[in-house]
Amino acid sequence: MILAIDAGNTRVKWGLHDGEGWSARGGVLNAELVHLAEAWRSLPVPERIVVSNVAGQKVRSELAVLLSHWHRDPIWVVARSRECGVTNRYQVPSQLGSDRWASAIAARHIHPGPCLVASVGTAMTVDVLGAEGDFLGGIVVAGPELMLEALVLKTAGVRGHKGQFQWIPTNTADAVHSGAMQALTGAIERMYRHVEQIQAVQPMCILCGGGASLLQPLLAMPLRVEENLVLEGLIRIARQ
């Protein structure tokens, strides 16, 4: 049994893998980590614990306390120069977020060819994997909720009801929502076109994260949605 934990900017997601599939999964907000103790109480003792944490030292410390009753030293993932068939071309490999690294490893095994990995969370990352398994780099932009919150907080006249996507909006709520969706999908599509040019082949786009369902209907490209990409990558890292 391997317990994989993905501590993101807003939520902590976890899954217990029995070697063939997920036997248990869950998630809580970072401000409510205390609830993990109850969720984990009924779990069997994991053989290994593997963690991606991009939420900072406070969350790491709280997780360490919650995990201590199993008397297992967690593997705190840090991006490496090479791991699980992926070569890291970041200028300083260890500065790549552990969640992006785990996602890249999972994506490589899902699609062994040129690939775009778009993770839509508090921030949206769009990363590029080359044909030989090289992590070539990527971009980071504000995610859907962060982008909309910034507009509401910093711009007069846009507060009110949540909008819906329209190609040509005729009210402010829809204009704000549609603008954010266009900006995010536009970032993915521009990266996709560039990868298509430099790789001379049509890449696969793997979409993941809590906001994936917002963007999926608006993207016209070979696309696959993966719900637990970081967790899948963590399992591969733990097995190695």
Is 99 one of the catalytic residues?
yes
Query: Do the beta carbons of residue 212 and residue 225 sit within 8 Å?
Result: yes
Query: Do the beta carbons of residue 52 and residue 5 sit within 8 Å?
Result: yes
Which segments of 32-143 does DSSP mark as H helices, in order? 35-41, 57-67, 98-110
Nearest-angstrom CA–CA distance, 125 and 66: 29
Q: Tokens 């939420």: give the residue.
A: 55
Helix (H) or strand (E) holding 232: helix 229-239
Q: Which of 6, 18, 73, 99 is catalytic?
A: 99
Token pair of 33, please? 């980590």
DSSP SS3 for 199: helix
Nearest-angstrom CA–CA distance, 3 and 17: 6
Catalytic site positions:
99
